[in-house]
Amino acid sequence: MLAAGEANSAALYPAESNHHLPLDALRVDGVFFHVARDAGGRAVGTGAIVLKGGWAEVKRMWTDPTARGRGVAAQVLLALEAAARTRGVEVLRLETGVRSDAALALYRRAGFVEIDAFEGYAPDPLSVFMEKRVG
C-alpha cells in the first residue's frame, strides 16, 4: 500500500515536492502507524503521526483505490487524532499536494486549516500545509 501511495504522488508531483516518510522511519519510537482493514483482514488504509513534542505531523495517509468512498480515510484520521490526544499532542500538522483534491477535502472537512510551511519544509507552490488543534 505504501508503494502505491508513493507511485500516486510521483505521478502528480516532481520528486522534490514529495515528502514521504521512509518505511524504516515508521518503525521508530515516537511514531504511531495505523492500518485500517476490511472485514476480510485486507489492509485498505494507512496513516501515521510523528510526535514532535506538543505537536505531531500526519504522514503516510493512503487509501486503497478499491476502498475509496467508504469513509476509510476519515476513520484513519480519527484514529490518528485519538492517538495524538492520548500522547499529549495539542496540534496536528501536515503537508499535502495542491493536486490531491480528495485529501484536501478530507482534511478541510476534519477541521484542518491552511498554514505557512512548518518545521522541515520550505515553501513550495505544489504543497499545502495545514494544521488542526486536537488537544
Domains of the chain (ranges, CATH numbers): 2-133 (3.40.630.30)
Predicted local confidence at residue 134, as pLDDT: 96
CB contact at 8 A, 38 and 44:
yes
Q: Is the pLDDT of residue 48 over 80?
A: yes
CA angle 98, 44, 121 (to 5 degrees): 30
Predicted local confidence at residue 56, as pLDDT: 97
Q: Mean per-residue pLDDT for 109-135? A: 95
Tell which residue, 92, 86, 20, has the closest CA to residue 49: 92
Burial 58-77 (b: 16+ CB within 10 A, else e): bbbbbbbeebeeeebbebbb
Alpha-carbon span 27 to 12, nearest angstrom: 27
pLDDT tens column, 4-32: 777 777 777 767 777 777 778 888 999 99
pLDDT tens column, 49-104: 999 989 999 999 999 999 999 999 999 999 999 999 999 999 999 999 999 999 99
Q: Which residue has the cell 503516510?
A: 60
Predicted local confidence at residue 2, as pLDDT: 73
Provide the angle, in degrees to the nearest 10, between the axes of the packed helices 101-109 and 72-86.
Answer: 50
Predicted local confidence at residue 71, as pLDDT: 95
